Structure 1
């Protein structure tokens, strides 16, 4: 059993208080969120310092606190209640990562690592749902997918966790490699390799190299689950020594091991399709629209098969699946409209996927409110214009852009054939909402509105202004 004394010994830290405090999983960085029996790690942030809240964390439930020597020197060692402990270390962040690596080894679960330019979170949630049919599963909360969030996720996992499903984010070379050193994945999933982070990495080949660090870190017996429709993944897989499981839609590129066939969109925002693998097939009722979500579901089914969950069991899990917040939420809007609020993030590929859903569901009354897309580097102008051309090609009725760079979307739509009177450019979210409200008065009930942009645009402000008030 892990104890405060064992943790202090592992971290080469100074123990204050009880050396026999047990640890069975659970960790927090916010003293307001710590639960009884958990570890509280005091980190110095840009806006605050966790060392200010050590006393509060110990009082509200934390049984073990980890703090930096410099932080304790500055704020003092707090009173330590009976049966609790404080461990002094040189660097709290490094201690968090080291402890997570050790805890992963202690509880020894299967570890599914997931990365990609788009679809990471949806795929993570689907994989967790499928594997929960057979195992005790823990996954990242929200976007806890970086050098702090991932080790925090591991330490949050209870000691009886059988599978960890870990989304891995990156903004440069070596970052996924560093995350793999902490979590030691046994199965790796790459959803796709697109242009997100082009501004930081320069070329799509370098993005592919950064994502492939996940597969390179798998053990010899590890399994890579890859999108058969993604050019860079297929290219890199050709030289890999790992076992590869491909997934994809029937009749596309290479013959995948896990196939999706006979897609049937439903007016109720569901998608029905046939999944086929290993001589078995079954119908899947996915409570989400869009071909891109079908691909994410196929990835989850493929991971399920790798881990001993049948297609039938996996399809049952997907039938009850719910997306995370701010991802393609269907919300009643003002004037009898329907809002597709997909505001968590955006890049050219995800923009076009959501526009396709809008076109399929909205009929003649479609409005696309699109914000800027960040981190596209030299492809910023071309990426935005590509989205605009998709707006025109798909026959979207009205386009409203938000922000100076998004005016390139308008330009792309114009050159793609959308009439000038169908295109509106706005400086900010409030202006875009007011303009859309006017459009809705003219079009009448039954309009469908897509709201999408990069996280920094905070497009959810438009959703709040246009949603129907109860």
Structure 2
């Protein structure tokens, strides 16, 4: 972060200092946190209200841990900058910081793959200079300014993930971030229940990034709704995909027995063969999008291919592969779910099962509105169509998955419905065996990652398996709310 004095923080947020007797207005703020447990000397603690607790209640704790002051909506008995709304104040502080650094801002959006692609971009762009990228899925009006505030004077690139649950959300984020580059990955069904016009409404929202980017717009040529955003762009447009007309494209795609894809990267008249370290054939599109941005910003195609090959997962619960002490392979993709990401995850499951048995442990997909019942039934039919041999549907919302799979003509697999996470883990613990591959996937709010953790630990507490994928990266999430003790944000991802 570019250090600001406490007086400069007050000026940037249009706030007033309170309870600052003995605190020097020139004292420097060198970090901004929304979790009192992360407060350290030099921090500014933003006291956000939440569903079950209020950040203001932890102001003294934060200052006691060394925070310079608190950004608060009311006096809290410790040094504070008082503003009308701490979230609005946080955004104003980020906007002030944006004026102080000259980094190229890259915005990434899409219904699926945003976080993985953002992580890939961080790997690729770091080859050109110091790069700051969002932690986890920091992609809304809280997470995005927190990422912006991490930029230093020498930062060359700032990679921002942008999510939305409605038209105008991304436009508001863009007004704050002022992106030079905009990357739109796809338009799917994530959070479709929040949009009056279904997928076309989602396309309208995602296209706000294409309209806002000042220098370069990167679009998926394989997605018609994304490709059509070229007409909304005011900057140069570059496309990626498998179509011959795409400027950056993939040919000769192959997926091996570990679920990792190899392909030829074609860009700028060059061809480079590479194999991704990420699981799932769908990662090819994410890699192409990241490569198109990086090449557009000056990275040589050969260097882009090499960086993609070196890249490994950074964010938790997204195609995270763990092998339990008993030899069960757990594919934890429980961070979020929509019809498109479910299809991709099931394909990955079948790619990596080898000689073992494949299990699909599927929970509900959230925020599908009136399409929810049909979407879950369609998922059950897809399980049968792909020939997934074992299905465990978890929770009331996933009952339709179980019923539709069982009713599918010709499917010879087995399906069971269980009411919750504990029942799923109990059922699986007594049946999985060495060599089995278990996919665990649902919308984040359902908490199905506990099944994955239990299986990875060997079916019981106190043991940990070997993790072949990502490790955690801080507090993840986007739509802010407080946990039961009121210290920190919990994930609730925007699409």
- Of 127, 132, 136, the residue aligned with 1:133 is 127
Higher helix content, 1 or 2: 1
Structure 2 unaligned blocks of 5 or more:
465-495
Could you tell me how far apart the structure 1 residues matched to 2:302 and 2:256 are?
21
Cα displacement string for residues 297-320 of structure 1 (whole angstroms, at most 9, x for unaligned residues): 111111101111112222222223
- Of 356, 363, 377, the residue aligned with 1:385 is 377
User: Which residue number corresponds to residue 260 of structure 1?
Assistant: 250
User: Which residue number corresponds to residue 451 of structure 1?
Assistant: 440
User: Which residue number corresponds to residue 43 of structure 2?
Assistant: 38
- Of 88, 98, 108, the residue aligned with 2:92 is 98
- Of 279, 285, 288, the residue aligned with 2:278 is 288
Secondary structure of the corresponding residue to residue 349 of structure 1: helix
Asked whether 1:236 is paired with 2:229, we answer: yes
Residues 60 and 394 of structure 1, relative CA distance in 2, 3 Å threshold: same
Paired residues of 1:116 and 1:192 also in contact (CA < 8 A): yes
User: What TM-score, normalized to structure 1?
Assistant: 0.90
- Of 350, 353, 361, the residue aligned with 1:362 is 353
Residues 41 and 420 of structure 1, relative CA distance in 2, 3 Å threshold: same
User: Which residue number corresponds to residue 400 of structure 1?
Assistant: 392
Report the CA distance between 1:335 and its aligned residue. Answer: 5.2
Asked whether 1:277 is paired with 2:272, we answer: no
Residues 12 and 430 of structure 1, relative CA distance in 2, 3 Å threshold: closer
Cα displacement string for residues 401-422 of structure 1 (whole angstroms, at most 9, x for unaligned residues): 1112212222332344354761
Could you tell me how far apart the structure 2 residues matched to 1:55 and 1:286 are?
47
Could you tell me how far apart the structure 2 residues matched to 1:44 and 1:407 are?
35
Report the CA distance between 1:334 and its aligned residue. Answer: 6.9
Could you tell me how far apart the structure 2 residues matched to 1:268 and 1:414 are?
28
Q: 4+ residue runs of structure 1 moved beyond 6 angstroms? A: none
Paired residues of 2:255 and 2:281 also in contact (CA < 8 A): no
Cα displacement string for residues 71-102 of structure 1 (whole angstroms, at most 9, x for unaligned residues): 20xx43x2x5xxxxx43323322111111011
Could you tell me how far apart the structure 1 residues matched to 2:406 and 2:37 are?
51
Report the CA distance between 1:180 and its aligned residue. Answer: 1.0
Residues 420 and 269 of structure 1, relative CA distance in 2, 3 Å threshold: closer
Secondary structure of the corresponding residue to residue 222 of structure 2: coil
Task: Kindly report which structure 2 residues correspond to 1:320-359, keeping only aligned pairs within 5 A, or say none.
Answer: 320-323=310-313, 324-333=315-324, 336-359=327-350
Asked whether 1:62 is paired with 2:63, we answer: no
Paired residues of 1:38 and 1:62 also in contact (CA < 8 A): yes
Report the CA distance between 1:373 and its aligned residue. Answer: 0.5
Residues 396 and 154 of structure 1, relative CA distance in 2, 3 Å threshold: same
Report the CA distance between 1:265 and its aligned residue. Answer: 1.9
Secondary structure of the corresponding residue to residue 67 of structure 2: coil
Could you tell me how far apart the structure 2 residues matched to 1:373 and 1:401 are?
12
Asked whether 1:301 is paired with 2:291, we answer: yes
Report the CA distance between 1:363 and its aligned residue. Answer: 4.3
Could you tell me how far apart the structure 2 residues matched to 1:42 and 1:404 are?
36
Task: Kindly report which structure 2 residues correspond to 1:46-195, keeping only aligned pairs within 5 A, or say none.
Answer: 46-68=51-73, 71-72=74-75, 75-76=76-77, 78=78, 86-195=80-189
Cα displacement string for residues 227-258 of structure 1 (whole angstroms, at most 9, x for unaligned residues): 11112111232454432111112xx4x62110
Larger radius of gyration: 1
Cα displacement string for residues 352-394 of structure 1 (whole angstroms, at most 9, x for unaligned residues): 1011111122146211111111111122122222222221122
Secondary structure of the corresponding residue to residue 288 of structure 1: strand
Paired residues of 1:124 and 1:165 also in contact (CA < 8 A): yes
Secondary structure of the corresponding residue to residue 160 of structure 1: coil
Secondary structure of the corresponding residue to residue 336 of structure 1: coil
Q: Single out whichever of 362-371 and 129-138 deviates more from structure 2.
A: 362-371
Could you tell me how far apart the structure 2 residues matched to 1:31 and 1:266 are?
45
Asked whether 1:315 is paired with 2:305, we answer: yes
Could you tell me how far apart the structure 2 residues matched to 1:418 and 1:446 are?
26
Residues 317 and 35 of structure 1, relative CA distance in 2, 3 Å threshold: farther
Could you tell me how far apart the structure 2 residues matched to 1:160 and 1:90 are?
33
Residues 232 and 13 of structure 1, relative CA distance in 2, 3 Å threshold: same
Give the number of the structure with larger relative contact order, counting CA–CA contacts within 8 Å between residues 6 or more apart. Answer: 2
Paired residues of 1:130 and 1:301 also in contact (CA < 8 A): yes
Asked whether 1:462 is paired with 2:457, we answer: no
Q: Single out whichever of 375-384 and 108-117 deviates more from structure 2.
A: 375-384
Secondary structure of the corresponding residue to residue 106 of structure 1: coil
Structure 1 unaligned blocks of 5 or more:
81-85
- Of 206, 216, 223, the residue aligned with 1:223 is 216
User: What TM-score, normalized to structure 2?
Assistant: 0.85
User: Which residue number corresponds to residue 210 of structure 1?
Assistant: 205
Report the CA distance between 1:322 and its aligned residue. Answer: 2.2
Could you tell me how far apart the structure 2 residues matched to 1:120 and 1:102 are?
26
